[in-house]
């Protein structure tokens, strides 16, 4: 009998829930911090997907720049 594991595949310490996997896991959180650091952004991260996505809007960027910034969010989610 094979049991399925419902622990986070990244850290293996908590249940694999969307909120944990993408925003609360220490591995994904570290990855998000690297992304923000790479772009020179200082921010506090939300742990809910819609609020996290919404924070990927920059007042100083034009429409094209903000679209690219949101593409970065989608790419990060896909990578995690």
pLDDT tens per residue, range 26-48: 999 999 999 888 888 888 788 88
**Residue ranges in the chain whose pLDDT is less than 70:** 1-4
In this prediction the pTM is: 0.74
Q: What pLDDT is stored for residue 35 in this prediction?
A: 86
Q: Tell me the β-bridge partners of 15.
A: 7
Cα–Cα dist 7/13, whole Å = 6
Q: Domain spans of the chain?
A: 18-79
């Amino acid at each position: 009998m094979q049991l399925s594991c419902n622990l986070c595949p990244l850290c293996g310490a908590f249940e694999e829930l969307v909120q944990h996997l993408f925003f609360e896991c220490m591995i994904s959180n570290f990855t998000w911090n690297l992304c923000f650091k790479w772009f020179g952004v200082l921010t506090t991260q939300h742990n809910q997907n819609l609020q996290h996505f919404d924070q990927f809007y920059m007042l100083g960027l034009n429409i094209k720049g903000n679209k690219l910034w949101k593409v970065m969010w989608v790419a990060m989610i896909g990578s995690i």
